[in-house]
Amino acid sequence: MKKSSYLSCFFIGIYTSSTHNRSRHLEICISTYHSYKQIRDQHLTIILGIDPGSRITGYGVIQKEGRKMTYLGSGCIKAFAPKKDGEDEDFSQRLQTIFAGVSELIIQFKPELFAIEQVFMGVNPGGALKLGQARGAAIVAATNNGLPVAEYSARQIKQAVVGTGAADKSQVQHMVKSILKLPGTPQADAADALAVALCHAHSYELISKLSGQVTKTVRGRLRK
């Protein structure tokens, strides 16, 4: 079968009702690379990577076939809460948006593995707390769908993709584009999420080689 491909961008809108009977719009920006080819007998593993954020959560989906990595989709979940009377909506509504968004992505792409970046404890404790809650919303969405959860630090992810734990965002974007042979440079949050997925793909392959297959998780999570 002749191979052909194209790049498309589209939006998914999910509407939910809050306790005040007001509608919220969950916007997931998806850039998907469609590749049509013959179906092979070799097992394919789909990995969903998440770069958590309290306002913008990046995601990246790749397909692992042996050592070959294929890009399936990437984008972001925008969790900006609508305002009422000049004030932000309850932060819990953002968490619900992240949960719903990740759940929708799992339904669409049907991943077998899920990986997420760990919280970086910077100088802003409040920001780290909100980021941890955003991570929790994404993790619950994964575990609700029976996915094992792997967690990696930012340094581990950069080391796996770029070769140095001190890489900056532009270097991550460049290497993700190069590894996945993308026609353009992915958005920063999406690139970080794709890097998480690539990091887990390399780690999962190593674990599989050492143990034959991954059979154990710690409290439902694969930990690095």
Catalytically annotated residue among 151, 189, 192, 205: 189
Annotation says 27 is catalytic: no
List C-alpha distances in Å: 42 to 25, 38, 137, 219. 40, 12, 33, 30
Annotated active-site residue 51? The verdict is: yes
Q: Which of 85, 90, 117, 151 is catalytic?
A: 117
Closest residue by Cα to residue 149 from 137, 164, 160? 137
Angle (deg, nearest 10), helices 188-211 and 169-180: 60
Cβ–Cβ under 8 Å, residues 49 and 172? no
Question: What is the torsional sign of CA 136, 91, 187, 124?
Answer: negative
| Active-site residue, from 41, 51, 168, 205 | 51
Pair 109, 141: CB distance under 8 Å: no
128 C-beta neighbours (distance < 10 Å), count: 14
Q: Say if CB 149 and CB 220 are below 8 A apart.
A: yes
Indicate which residues carry an active-site annotation.
51, 117, 189
